């Protein structure tokens, strides 16, 4: 039987997921990737992700960290990263030349969604302590430990640095222009 504390954790986790998705959606709309904002993180409502995350809800960090501490891995995270292309962990594949798993360059749209996701996560988890440098600081903490394509990492770092130095209005304008240039370039290559 579910207790009152358990129900409270479920509702708080649901609120956090909803607030995060709404924030990412707003950022994706500012970046011009509307569909990505609408479908962002829908797998978080699946039983494979929602139940373990609600059980381990803390409000100050990802419940996946608690699941990793408990089991040594997070089944919820493995489910999530395998279904959401805005996570660099999705973009790994077997390289027949090296015979190893290697990171793959992410398409621009998903890098932009990843940027929006990281900024929104910082706002949700840091609350009033959030600054435009928060996402870059978090990114810097993971340097050397990430298994991310180098060009993808450089692009994400550049966007986060730009946010830190020039603010949201500037970075979203820049991202829309970057995306438009990439779309025009793609059309030229097809002709």
Report whether pLDDT(177) > 70.
Answer: yes
Report whether pLDDT(190) > 60.
Answer: no
Question: Is residue 21 assigned to a domain?
Answer: no
Question: Is residue 124 assigned to a domain?
Answer: yes
Q: Which domain holds residue 156?
A: 84-190
End-to-end C-alpha distance for the chain, whole angstroms:
62
Residue range 17-75, pLDDT digits in tens: 999 999 999 999 999 999 999 999 999 999 999 999 999 998 778 899 999 999 999 99
127: left (phi over 0), alpha (psi -120 to 50) or beta: left
Residue 188: pLDDT band with limits 50, 70, 90: low
Question: Is residue 22 assigned to a domain?
Answer: no
DSSP 3-state of 104 = coil
- pLDDT average, residue stretch 159-175: 98
Question: Is residue 175 assigned to a domain?
Answer: yes
Residues of the chain with pLDDT > 90, as a percent, come to: 85
Residue range 84-140, pLDDT digits in tens: 999 999 999 999 999 999 999 999 999 999 999 999 999 988 889 999 999 999 999
Can you give the pLDDT at residue 189?
Answer: 64
Question: Is residue 102 assigned to a domain?
Answer: yes
Q: Domain total for the chain?
A: 1
Can you give the pLDDT at residue 60?
Answer: 78
What's the sign of the alpha-carbon dihedral 85, 90, 94, 99?
Answer: positive
Question: Is residue 182 assigned to a domain?
Answer: yes
Question: Is residue 31 assigned to a domain?
Answer: no
pTM score, two decimals? 0.92
Question: Is residue 55 assigned to a domain?
Answer: no
Can you give the pLDDT at residue 191?
Answer: 43
Q: How far is CA 40 from CA 5, 108, 188, in A?
A: 28, 15, 29
């Amino acid at each position: 039987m579910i207790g009152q504390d358990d129900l409270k954790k479920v509702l708080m986790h649901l609120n956090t997921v909803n607030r995060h998705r709404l924030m990412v959606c707003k950022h994706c709309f500012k970046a011009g990737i509307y569909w990505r904002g609408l479908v962002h993180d829908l797998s978080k409502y699946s039983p494979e992700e929602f139940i373990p995350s609600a059980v381990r809800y803390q409000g100050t960090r990802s419940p996946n960290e608690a699941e990793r501490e408990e089991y040594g891995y997070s089944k919820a995270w493995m489910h999530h990263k395998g279904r959401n292309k805005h996570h660099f962990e999705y973009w790994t594949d077997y390289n027949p030349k090296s015979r190893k798993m290697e990171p793959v360059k992410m398409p621009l749209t998903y890098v932009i969604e990843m940027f929006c996701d990281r900024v929104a996560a910082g706002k949700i988890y840091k609350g009033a302590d959030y600054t435009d440098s928060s996402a870059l600081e978090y990114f810097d903490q993971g340097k050397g430990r990430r298994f991310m394509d180098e060009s993808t990492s450089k692009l994400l770092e550049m966007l986060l640095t730009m946010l830190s130095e020039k603010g949201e209005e500037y970075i979203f304008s820049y991202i829309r222009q970057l995306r438009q240039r990439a779309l025009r370039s793609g059309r030229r290559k097809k002709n």
